[in-house]
Amino acid sequence: MQKKITKAIFPVAGMGTRFLPATKSVPKEIMTLVDRPLIQYAIDEAREAGIKEFIFVTSRGKSALEDYFDHAPQLERELRKKGKTELLETLAATNMESGAIAYIRQHHALGLGHAVRCARRLIANEPFAVILPDDVIAGEKPCLKQMIDAYEETGGSMVAAMEVPMAQASSYGVLDVKEDMGSIVSVKGMVEKPKEGQAPSNLAVIGRYILTPSVLRNLRNQDSGAGGEIQLTDAIASEIEQGRNVYGFRFKGQRYDCGSKAGFLQATVAFGLARDDLRDELAEYLDELQASRRAAE
Ligand code: UTP
């Protein structure tokens, strides 16, 4: 029986340079897919996986993110007065219990590994989850829930994994597979952003992790790695060198890289088409667009 995972870290202190100029004033995690900010998708996934404590690692300029989680009594009063019960329900679903969210500052963007280490005092000696909100994963069963169910069987540390074209492997952390058991693979090594032609496989790490507290200890001594940043991948790889088990988990679902413009646009279209209130109008528009592109060719 594994220790229950009730805490999740959301590292949101990055600079989001790929979305400049928007991210000059809007945190990337507040950008909306249809009508919900990216962070809401991440929070919902965590809640459905049984997470009770939500730890945000933030930085300067992220106050809109903190404001988003405040209750809005005046707005609720107005909606109630106008009988807008559906909107009231939408708002209520975003309300968080007092004390469930903690904010920790990362003063310098030294990398994802460093951001996770900033939360160490709130983790103590228990396994925890890490969710990167810019990886949005649509699926019947939330990705983190799938992983926690698998972790109940395996223990150890576990990363979400996905096959990518070999040519793209150098943009990801990549797994060196020891044994492939289908949805779970055991891992004998991990490389962050391998040089072209040097990736040990095409199984890439995606932004969901279940980590043992020893990863936080590894991060204490972690030198900077790929891109001059303190890499979480390197601290997880050290687990393997220290004789602890690390697994990759092939999740079921569609992952959208909302940290990139193309991924964000694809997610916007996919989530729009998944909505009953938007599907017909949007699909019609996309058909027209395609027809006019064909006509122009
Ligand atoms: P990214 O590599 O996407 O970096 O970080 P970024 O700064 O968010 O975006 P770009 O590349 O400049 O456009 C992956 C995740 O790690 C967090 C980010 O907030 C994001 O959730 N992160 C990264 C930190 O919290 N701190 C860091 O120092 C670096």
What are the tens digits of pLDDT across the range 248-294?
A: 999 999 999 999 999 999 999 999 999 999 999 999 999 999 999 88
Residue 183 in tokens: 């949805």
- Assess whether pLDDT exceeds 80 at residue 36: yes
Residue 109 pLDDT level (bands cut at 50, 70, 90): very high
Atom of ligand 1 nearest to the CA of 114: 28
- Assess whether pLDDT exceeds 90 at residue 185: yes
Distance separating alpha carbons of residues 244 and 47, to the nearest angstrom: 28
How many Å lie between the centroid of ligand 1 and the Cα of residue 287?
35
Mutate to test the pocket of ligand 1, among 30, 134, 171, 258 (most ligand atoms within 8 A of CB): 134
Distance separating alpha carbons of residues 167 and 174, to the nearest angstrom: 12
Residue type, 289: L
How many Å lie between the centroid of ligand 1 and the Cα of residue 63?
17
Mutate to test the pocket of ligand 1, among 15, 59, 114 (most ligand atoms within 8 A of CB): 15
Q: Which residue's C-alpha comes closest to atom 16 of ligand 1?
A: 112
Distance separating alpha carbons of residues 56 and 198, to the nearest angstrom: 34
How many Å lie between the centroid of ligand 1 and the Cα of residue 55?
16
Coil, strand or helix: which one is 187? strand
CATH 3.90.550.10 fits 7-259, yes or no: yes
How many Å lie between the centroid of ligand 1 and the Cα of residue 69?
21
pTM of the shown model: 0.95
Q: What is the pLDDT of residue 222?
A: 76
Residue 297 pLDDT level (bands cut at 50, 70, 90): confident
| Relative orientation angle of helices 143-154 and 38-48, to the nearest 10 degrees | 40
Nearest Cα to 196, choosing from 222, 223, 165, 241? Answer: 165
Atom of ligand 1 nearest to the CA of 133: 21
Residue 81 in tokens: 């007065």
Arithmetic mean of pLDDT, 4-29:
94
Arithmetic mean of pLDDT, 197-210:
95
Structure confidence by residue, pLDDT tens digits, 218-241: 998 877 788 888 899 999 999 999
Arithmetic mean of pLDDT, 105-127:
94
Q: Tell me the domain boundaries of the chain.
A: 7-259, 261-297
Q: What is the pLDDT of residue 269?
A: 97
Q: What is the pLDDT of residue 229?
A: 85
- Higher per-residue pLDDT: 3 or 247: 247
Q: What is the pLDDT of residue 249?
A: 98
From the CB of residue 198, how many other CB atoms can be counted at a distance below 10 Å? Answer: 10
Q: Which residue's C-alpha comes closest to atom 7 of ligand 1?
A: 14
CA distances in angstroms from 277 to 131, 272, 289, listed in the order given: 29, 9, 20
Q: What is the pLDDT of residue 179?
A: 94
CA distances in angstroms from 76 to 37, 81, 91, 94, listed in the order given: 19, 9, 8, 12
Report the share of the chain in percent with pLDDT over 90: 85
Distance separating alpha carbons of residues 188 and 116, to the nearest angstrom: 23
Spell out which residues line ligand 1, taking CB within 6 angstroms: 11-18, 28, 57, 106, 109-112, 114-115, 132, 134, 259
Q: What is the pLDDT of residue 27?
A: 94
Mean residue pLDDT of the chain comes to 94
Distance separating alpha carbons of residues 190 and 233, to the nearest angstrom: 7
How many Å lie between the centroid of ligand 1 and the Cα of residue 118?
14
